[in-house]
């Protein structure tokens, strides 16, 4: 059963990351295999939280596009390149296969063969020289192992139909010969005497003990087969390695991690019917045909802390959205079937998940409780945000009983770690908690930067304003606002796209509007800034 992929938005914050981990733990407890992911690098606050509770950072998820590995392609067992053409033919015939993958000892794809390749090999290839395993010849001729000294047999095939004297005189047989012979014991003796590579005795004849002894002394390989000489001579070349006839160059193959849309056109336009699938490290995995492109399995995803397409994983439109757990405004996520959509007006996604644990009567592990508590106090700014509800406070009180920490002391340590701007570029500061919204049909970007020292921003005020203007123009935004939130004083300093000063004045309804103006009691992007922008945009449309 495939795992559900659970993740938050593109700019992972503490609430979204902790929510993905907590919900994944809950789903696994309910026998719904799930795994948490992040869509980008975590911030310092989240890093502090995960380290504090000894939880690993979730794996980075690049996209949720349909990949080759999501297709129900054929897991056809590959052949080793030293197995026989004969064995390959019967395996393909028995299993109704038209194409057979060939691999080396390490499982790397070496080539492919088709029934046509086998047929053409009997027409176009050298039908005299044979280099193959002794065991391949046994298998092809349904032979008996009489004497075996060499693993590999390499020589020229000779059908001995002459008398021994004729053979001697014309040098028809030499040491490099593979001799096919019936009841010509003189020929067998001569072949042993000169030390040929292999003697194949046809007709299931008994070989005299003296010849066996002589061959043992001279270390001559001998095989016995029930087939007659004609059939043996006709079919022995089927014992050659499949490597000798396989196609090994210009093979159209695909990696299992390739995006389906990137491969689809090549597959549909190719004259081939089967395409090998390999892993990133070149290991063979299976064969793909055009039929497998129909109704591919989409990735099963659960979204937490967001429900807008542009905030979600790349390729979200190709995924099967199973569920949404969020506490923001309703966005533009679309699904083709009804899903569980849980959107509650609380301060944190982790608050919602806390109550989901309660509803399902599932005990919350200590480390998960710590993460959920951290997500709530991060998003509510330790209950100072206007988004805070009584349900958030109840959740934190209950979670504290599990983790047993000093809430205020822990929160201050967490905020201190998260607000440190040391070593970050200005672009990294803007994008560390940046969300893109489509508000009233206009692209609006809102960055929120939490700090305990506003001077770290004010000292580079002009440079931040210039960067905001550049991003607005380069990324085709209508407006960008960077809200630098002072956690202690419960307010935010506003920086914005320079050309939109008149609009910003209408948004915050301040007597005087300027870059870096302080808006008291404004700490919530979701509940204070976004609604104000929507109202202002509606007014200018009227």
Q: Give pLDDT tens digits along the chain (542 positions).
A: 589 999 999 989 999 999 999 999 999 999 999 999 999 999 999 999 999 999 999 999 999 999 988 888 888 888 898 999 999 888 888 888 888 899 998 999 988 988 888 888 777 666 789 999 999 999 999 999 999 999 999 999 998 865 555 555 456 788 999 999 988 888 899 999 999 999 999 999 989 999 999 999 999 999 999 999 999 988 899 999 988 888 888 888 889 888 888 888 888 777 777 888 999 888 999 888 888 787 788 999 999 999 999 899 999 999 999 999 999 989 888 888 899 999 999 999 999 999 999 999 999 999 999 999 999 999 999 998 889 999 999 999 999 999 989 999 999 999 988 888 888 899 999 998 899 998 988 999 999 998 888 888 999 999 999 999 999 999 999 999 999 998 888 899 999 999 999 999 999 988 889 999 999 999 989 889 999 999 999 988 75
How high is the pLDDT of residue 334?
86
How high is the pLDDT of residue 265?
81
How high is the pLDDT of residue 297?
85
Residue with tokens 């982790």: 350
Two tokens at 8?
């938050």
Which CATH fold would you assign to the domain 426-541? Diaminopimelate Epimerase; Chain A, domain 1 (3.10.310)
How high is the pLDDT of residue 401?
95
Return the CATH superfamily for domain 4-66+299-418: inorganic pyrophosphatase (n-terminal core) (3.90.1640.10)
Backbone angles phi, psi at 89, to 5 degrees: -60, -50
User: Exposure of 53 by Cβ count < 10 A (0-12 exposed, 13-18 middle, 19+ buried)?
Assistant: buried
How high is the pLDDT of residue 142?
93
Closest Cα to residue 202, out of 155, 157, 164, 260? 157
How high is the pLDDT of residue 247?
87
- Give ranges for CATH 3.40.1390.20 in the chain: 126-244
Write the Ramachandran bin of 24: left for phi over 0, alpha for psi from -120 to 50, otherwise beta: alpha
How high is the pLDDT of residue 429?
92
Map residue 28 onto helix, strand or coil. Answer: helix
C-alpha dihedral over 381, 382, 388, 392, to 10 degrees? 130
- Give ranges for CATH 3.90.1640.10 in the chain: 4-66+299-418
How high is the pLDDT of residue 372?
98
How high is the pLDDT of residue 331?
87
Two tokens at 410?
């822990």
CA angle 445, 448, 452 (to 5 degrees): 160
User: Exposure of 433 by Cβ count < 10 A (0-12 exposed, 13-18 middle, 19+ buried)?
Assistant: buried
Which CATH fold would you assign to the domain 126-244? 3.40.1390
Quote the pTM value.
Answer: 0.69
Closest Cα to residue 444, out of 329, 350, 281, 291? 329
How high is the pLDDT of residue 441?
87
- Give ranges for CATH 3.10.310.20 in the chain: 426-541
474 with 437: CB under 8 angstroms? no
114 with 245: CB under 8 angstroms? no
How high is the pLDDT of residue 515?
94
How high is the pLDDT of residue 163?
56
* Rounded-to-integer distance, Cα 396 and Cα 394, Å: 5
CA–CA distance from 266 to each of 64, 251, 282, 288 (Å)? Answer: 21, 12, 20, 13
């Amino acid at each position: 059963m495939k795992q559900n992929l659970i993740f938050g938005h593109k700019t992972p914050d503490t609430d979204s990351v902790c929510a993905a981990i907590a919900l994944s733990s809950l789903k696994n407890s309910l026998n719904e295999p799930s795994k948490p992911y992040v869509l980008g690098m975590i911030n310092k606050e989240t890093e502090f939280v995960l380290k504090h509770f000894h939880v690993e950072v979730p794996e980075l998820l690049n996209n949720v596009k349909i990949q080759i590995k999501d297709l129900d392609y054929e897991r056809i067992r590959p052949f080793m390149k030293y197995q026989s053409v004969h064995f390959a033919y019967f395996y393909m015939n028995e299993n109704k296969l038209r194409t057979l993958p060939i691999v080396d000892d390490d499982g790397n794809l070496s080539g492919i063969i088709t029934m046509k390749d086998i047929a053409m090999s009997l027409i176009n290839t050298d039908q005299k020289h044979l280099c193959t395993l002794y065991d391949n010849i046994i298998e092809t001729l349904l032979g008996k192992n009489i004497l075996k000294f060499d693993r590999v047999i390499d020589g020229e095939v000779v059908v001995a139909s002459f008398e021994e004297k004729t053979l001697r005189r014309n040098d028809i047989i030499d040491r490099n010969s593979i001799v096919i012979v019936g009841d010509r014991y003189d020929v067998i003796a001569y072949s042993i005497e000169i030390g040929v590579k292999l003697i194949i005795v046809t007709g299931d004849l008994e070989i005299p003990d003296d010849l066996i002894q002589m061959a043992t002394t001279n270390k001559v390989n001998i095989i016995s087969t029930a087939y007659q000489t004609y059939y043996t001579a006709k079919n022995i070349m089927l014992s050659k390695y499949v490597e000798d006839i396989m196609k090994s160059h210009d093979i159209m193959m695909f990696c299992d991690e390739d995006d389906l849309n990137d491969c689809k056109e090549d597959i549909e336009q190719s004259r081939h019917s089967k395409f090998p699938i390999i892993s990133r490290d070149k290991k063979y995995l299976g064969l793909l045909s055009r039929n497998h492109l129909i109704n591919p399995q989409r990735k099963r995803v659960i979204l937490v802390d967001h429900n807008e397409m542009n905030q979600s994983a790349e390729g979200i439109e190709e995924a099967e959205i199973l569920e949404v757990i969020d506490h923001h405004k309703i966005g533009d996520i679309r699904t083709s079937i009804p899903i569980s959509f849980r959107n509650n007006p609380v301060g944190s996604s982790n608050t919602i998940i806390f109550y989901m644990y309660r509803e399902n009567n599932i005990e919350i592990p200590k480390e998960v409780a710590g993460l959920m508590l951290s997500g709530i106090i991060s998003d509510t700014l330790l209950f100072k945000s206007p988004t805070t509800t009584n349900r958030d406070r109840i959740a934190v009180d209950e979670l504290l009983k599990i983790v047993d920490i000093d809430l205020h002391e822990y929160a201050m340590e967490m905020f201190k770690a998260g607000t440190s701007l040391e070593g970050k570029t200005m672009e990294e500061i803007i994008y560390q908690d940046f969300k893109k919204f489509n508000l009233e049909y206009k692209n609006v970007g809102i960055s929120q930067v939490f700090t305990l020292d506003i001077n770290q921003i004010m000292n580079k005020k002009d440079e931040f304003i210039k960067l905001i203007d550049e991003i607005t123009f380069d990324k085709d935004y209508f407006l960008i606002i960077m809200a630098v939130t002072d956690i202690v004083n419960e307010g935010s300093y506003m920086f914005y796209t320079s050309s939109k000063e008149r609009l910003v004045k209408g948004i915050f309804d301040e007597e005087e509007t300027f870059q870096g103006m302080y808006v008291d009691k404004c700490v919530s992007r979701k509940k204070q800034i976004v609604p104000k922008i929507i109202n202002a945009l509606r007014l200018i449309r009227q």
